Amino acid sequence: MPTDGVLFHAHAHRQVDPSPPSGVTLRHDWAQDEVRAIHDSPLLELVHRAHSLHRLGFPDGRVQLCSLLSVKSGGCSEDCSYCPQSARFDTGVQPERLLPVPQVLEEAKKARALGATRFCMGAAWREVKDGPQFEAVLEMVRGVRALGLEACCTLGMLSAEQARRLKEAGLTAYNHNLDTSPDFYGEIIRTHAYRERLETIAHARDAGIAVCAGGIIGMGESVLDRCRMLLALANQPAHPESVPINALVPIPGTPLEGRPKVEPLELVRMIATARILMPMSVVRLSAGRLALSEEAQLLCLLAGANSIFFGERLLTTGNPSYQADMALLEKAGLRPLEPEGLR
Ligand code: SAM
Ligand code: DTB
Ligand code: SF4
């Protein structure tokens, strides 16, 4: 029923796909050649198809504003080649302790006052370890939910039991990215496996937490790798509730420091393809916006992106200013998702 599809969009906690409105089909049997053909189709056809689906799935055209806070920065054991927070690279990011719960909740309040509907907390951990730090994170989740915000965490790998406890604390979504294709993954990360990422995503989904999973482009992967990553996401038992698409922010000191800038139109293709494969998922234009013109960002929003991180900081790197983002949305007549749009 079309109205169900509309009401269901975007923010339900889901283990299964939402029921889509008429004209929208959710598929989990995409073939690599189909994805490649979509990705490589003439740009304006691609954008038109993606935008048409976007309008059906999200008729109010709102943009979700998410706020991001690094609650535990730096000193990570892992070797993710893109990451400023790995202890293995000299990037100038200092290892810090977990922030105190009241400080995190103050930041959440500020984000809410500026119009955020989702508050995401990131920790530079390989995995969650049971103990006082996890208990503090659970406290943060409860506090953020009590403020009327959606709560998201990205804490590395997670067991089924830890996912259950996060759900019990009220966690809305868990971010864990596939980052790239299964084949290219080994070029980027050696300290944990693709399979482990899929397991963490399954633990979050099975606990009834919305899955936020996407990846990065610009790390030296081929177009086929990009398509295979989207294929891996779309052919999950349920489409991720949200799909962050990051353009690599090359960090001095990391193995990827010298990667050339991502071509904005490649990002547009990636977003449009994600929108077509996963029509009811929130597609988030994530890292890399500082390097994009206003026009390029608008093209991403036209091609199916309907969420951004706002605020001057992502985890450790910069992001457009609040004023710049509000001015951009205003100019385009795009309205942020209101808190009452949440369920
Ligand atoms: N430690 C946790 C993990 O690995 O899941 C959470 C934090 S991690 C920084 C979250 C995601 O941020 C990564 O999976 C990656 O997709 C993205 N990311 C990190 N550094 C980036 C960079 N320099 N450019 C673009 N995206 C980046
Ligand atoms: C995601 O896919 N992108 C966000 C969020 N999930 C946690 C993180 C981007 C981090 C960019 C590098 C930094 O600021 O440290
Ligand atoms: Fe960075 Fe997360 Fe990899 Fe650690 S596990 S190096 S924080 S991306």
Predicted confidence (pLDDT) per residue in 190-242, tens digit: 999 999 999 999 999 999 999 999 999 999 999 999 999 999 999 999 999 99
- Name all residues whose Cβ lies below 6 A of ligand 3: 76, 78, 80, 83, 85-86, 124, 126, 156
Does residue 30 contact residue 234 with C-beta atoms inside 8 Å? yes
Strand spans (E) along 62-208: 64-72, 118-123, 150-154, 173-175
- Atom of ligand 1 lying closest to residue 154 CA: 6
Residue 164: phi and psi, rounded to 5, are -60, -40
Strand partners, 244: 284
Test site for ligand 3: of 85, 96, 196, most ligand atoms within 8 A of the Cβ:
85
Ligand nearest to the CA of 308: 2
Centre of ligand 2 from the C-alpha of residue 147, in Å:
23
Pairing outcome for strands 64-72 and 307-309: parallel
pLDDT, tens only, 39-55: 999 999 999 999 999 99
- Atom of ligand 1 lying closest to residue 177 CA: 14
**Dihedral over Cα of 19, 45, 325, 83: its sign:** positive
pLDDT at 2 over 90: no
Does residue 316 contact residue 84 with C-beta atoms inside 8 Å? yes
Q: Is-catalytic flag, 300?
A: no
The one catalytic residue among 153, 212, 227, 300 = 212
CATH superfamily for 29-331 is Aldolase class I (3.20.20.70)
User: Could you tell me how far CA 23 lies from the centroid of its own chain?
Assistant: 26
pLDDT at 112 over 50: yes
Residue nearest ligand 3's atom 2 by CA: 124
Residue type, 233: L
- And the tokens for 286? 């994530």
User: Could you tell me how far CA 27 lies from the centroid of its own chain?
Assistant: 20
CA gap 286, 296 in Å, rounded:
13
CA gap 68, 151 in Å, rounded:
10
pLDDT score recorded for residue 45: 98
Residue ranges per domain, the chain?
29-331
Q: Is-catalytic flag, 284?
A: yes
E strand or H helix at 247: strand 242-247
Q: Is 17 exposed, middle or buried (0-12, 13-18, 19+ CB in 10 A)?
A: middle
Test site for ligand 2: of 314, 317, 319, most ligand atoms within 8 A of the Cβ:
314
Give the three-state DSSP class for 20: coil
Higher-confidence residue of 19 and 218: namely 218
Q: Is 191 in the pocket of ligand 2 (CB under 6 A)?
A: no
pTM for the whole structure? 0.95
Centre of ligand 2 from the C-alpha of residue 83, in Å:
9
Ligand nearest to the CA of 200: 1
Q: What is the mean pLDDT of residues 85-106?
A: 97
Please provide the size of the chain in residues.
343
CA gap 305, 223 in Å, rounded:
19
- Atom of ligand 2 lying closest to residue 286 CA: 3
Q: How far is CA 52 from CA 49, 58, 275, in A?
A: 5, 10, 10
E strand or H helix at 300: helix 294-302
CA-nearest of 10, 154, 181 to 85 is 154
Residue type, 208: G
pLDDT more than 70, % of the chain: 94
CB atoms within 10 A of CB 215: 25
The pLDDT mean for the chain works out to 93
How far does the chain reach from its first CA to its final CA, in angstroms? 19
In sequence order, which residues have a C-beta less than 8 Å from that of residue 56 and are 6 or more positions away? Answer: 21, 23, 24, 279
pLDDT score recorded for residue 16: 77
Q: Is-catalytic flag, 80?
A: yes
